[in-house]
Amino acid sequence: MGKKSDTRDWKTWIPWSIHILDRIWDLAKKGNLNKELEKLRNSNEIKTDLQTNALALLRVINSLEIGIAHSDFRPNNMVMLTKNGQLGLIDFEDVILDAKHYDIARYLGAPASLFKWDDELRDEYIDYFIERNDFYSGKKLSHTAFKQEIFNIWYARSLNLWEWLPHEYGGPSYSFTPAGKNREERCNNIYLCLKALVDHRNEIAQEKST
């Protein structure tokens, strides 16, 4: 087994994302997924837009400030350290150098259709993060620019739909339950994520000309 890289390889991630989109379109064409995905695959223009976004975002991600990413930042990997509620992180197996705000982007970068709380609460979290960042680093972040940055990271990360593929079509084992414990759940998750990517594909159009 090769040595684990210290830096996330977006130059591999993005082409793989484009390949998986081709795979999903092909499976949907053959009727191997669900009806919603069969309808979506009728537009090759949509697939082209997503793949164009992927290439544009490769340039964007590579231009972002680098930092340390936990890569599996979620409640299951948090522990209570003190009675007053101070939290600590565990499970540093996937720590890697990446876009500095990768971890926060996975939770606060998603569009409203996939965000688990209301947008006002999201803005409160973003403002709190900006305030704490300013306090500890002395660098003031723009709310609008930061929100766009974490959206771009979320979009680039979510374009790779491999983890949602049904196992029989090359996706991870169904023992990986967060992606869905059966074919029906996996197909539904692909559709929800893909629809969000499609609905918001024009929001990074400004990045294509840079």
Quick one: CA torsion of 102, 79, 89, 175, rounded to 10 degrees?
-60
Total domain count, the chain:
1
The string of pLDDT tens digits covering residues 70-129 is: 988 888 888 988 777 888 999 999 899 999 999 999 889 998 888 777 778 889 999 999
Quick check: 127 and 143 in contact, CB under 8 A?
A: yes
User: Does residue 91 form part of some domain?
Assistant: yes
> In the prediction, which pLDDT does 5 show?
63
Which among 50, 64, 53 has a CA at the least distance from the CA of 102? 64
- CB contact burial 70-97 (16+ within 10 A = b; e otherwise): bbbbeeeeeeeeeeeeeeeeeeeeeeee
> In the prediction, which pLDDT does 183 show?
95
User: Does residue 55 form part of some domain?
Assistant: yes
User: Does residue 3 form part of some domain?
Assistant: no
User: Does residue 145 form part of some domain?
Assistant: yes
User: Does residue 4 form part of some domain?
Assistant: no
Range of the domain at 103: 10-208
Query: Which CATH number belongs to the domain containing residue 43 in this structure?
Result: 3.90.1200
User: Does residue 159 form part of some domain?
Assistant: yes
Provide the residue-wise pLDDT of the chain in tens; the chain has 210 residues: 345 567 788 989 999 999 999 999 999 999 999 999 988 888 778 989 999 999 999 989 989 999 999 988 888 888 988 777 888 999 999 899 999 999 999 889 998 888 777 778 889 999 999 999 999 988 889 999 999 999 999 999 999 999 999 999 999 999 999 899 999 999 999 999 999 999 998 887 444 444
User: Does residue 203 form part of some domain?
Assistant: yes
Cα distances (Å, whole numbers) of residue 144 to 61, 123, 126, 127, 147: 17, 10, 10, 10, 5
User: Does residue 15 form part of some domain?
Assistant: yes
The pTM of the full predicted model, rounded to 2 decimals, is 0.87
